[in-house]
Amino acid sequence: MKEDNDKLVTLAIHTFEKAQILKTMLESEGVEVVLNNVNQIQPVVSAGVGVRIKEVDLTKALRILEDNKWGINEDHDDEQNESDYVLVPVDFSEYSMKVCELGFTFASRRNLSVTIMHVQGLPFYPTPLSIGDATSFQVAAEYSVKEEYERAMSQMTELKNKLHERMSKGELPEVQFTTIIRDGAPEDAILSFSKRHPPVIIVMGTRGKSKKDSDLIGSVAAEVIDSSKVPVLVIPEEVPFNDLRQAKEVAVATSFDQRDLILFDSYIKLCGDHLDPHMHIFNISTYSPEWNDVQLKAIHEYYRQHYPNRNITYNALDQGDFSLALEKFIRQENIEMIVVNTYKRNIFAKFFNPSMARRMLFHAGTPLLVMHGKNS
């Protein structure tokens, strides 16, 4: 008969990959874990793997989950109030530090904290039935998931140490930050987390315009900007600065929709007095040049009256290919960041008519701040 100290309780039930990650996390803190497969025939693809621990370790385990922001009920979609933090997803590439720099400087001026997030993609496994030995297959899969998660933990620790070192040297502003690791598809994990814990802004990197289009179209950044409910700042690899205040020439897109006026005000409030660039209002419509010019003058007059202390001018893009016109405009005006609005659209519109934010992301190679609004 088991002693009371050895009595096991079920802490959580997850997919195999999530259960293995949780097991690794708890064991690294000295909590013994036993995985109980609900589906013994295909354990790796089971939707229910029990994570069991000793009852005496329950309080300690719950504290570890809380410290690591591991939501046992994380699949719930309960809305929360906006939190005072900046979400910075990273992939541990050399470019991750540049994204952190931009996130930290923005957070410092707004007195915000930072949450650095890494999403550990789940490995793909064939079904165990296709290779015969399910037991040895599970052991190999278990080892692979654990190894990948431990590597991610090591990389996150290395990044944290570098950030603390740079803050101590005065190379980065002193900002409180936490780190989390999630598993799954990166875009899904980022969107899910930001929905449950809405940040002030998401600051993330993307591959540059030199990459081939087939790579860009599947980018994580494009999925996030299409579906996020909070502003998203996307930073290409080529960006030369590490502080948004260094962006002196900012282009603000308009489609002459009344919602643009509301979201322009949101952009001004988001940046506050910390950022005061020269703002160029430009058109993304397909009307005639004459009509575009009339509307641009009207919206420029509106902004001039409502924001008299801001330096705001307007530019009409050339007719013809939008991408070429946009790149010419960016080059001639030395544009260092683009602000664009995107609205929630149904799945068919997303598939057949990619958003303007996506087009800019794929072709401009310039930092992109995407403001989000709802359809009226």
Topology of 213-373 in CATH? Rossmann fold (3.40.50)
**203/183 Cα distance (integer angstroms):** 19
Q: Which two tokens stand for residue 360?
A: 């800019």
**214/218 Cα distance (integer angstroms):** 7
Nearest partner of 144 among 127, 171, 120, 115, judged by Cα: 120
Question: Does the pLDDT value for residue 42 go beyond 50?
Answer: no
**322/334 Cα distance (integer angstroms):** 18
Question: Does the pLDDT value for residue 78 go beyond 50?
Answer: no
**64/59 Cα distance (integer angstroms):** 9
Contact, 205 vs 236, CB < 8 A? yes
Question: Does the pLDDT value for residue 224 go beyond 60?
Answer: yes
Q: What share of the chain is helix, strand, coil (3-state, %, to 5)?
A: 45, 20, 35
Per-residue confidence band for 48, with pLDDT thresholds at 50, 70 and 90: low
Q: What is the pLDDT of residue 210?
A: 45
- State the pTM of this model: 0.73
For 119, counting Cβ atoms within 10 Å of its Cβ (0-12 exposed, 13-18 middle, 19+ buried), the class is: buried
Per-residue confidence band for 88, with pLDDT thresholds at 50, 70 and 90: very high
Q: What is the pLDDT of residue 5?
A: 63
Residue 154 C-alpha from the chain's centroid? 21
| Length in residues, the chain | 376
Higher pLDDT, 101 or 47: 101
Contact, 281 vs 261, CB < 8 A? no
Per-residue confidence band for 252, with pLDDT thresholds at 50, 70 and 90: very high
Looking at residues 12-36, what average pLDDT do you find? 81
As a whole number, the mean pLDDT across the chain is 78
**What amino acid occupies position 300?**
H
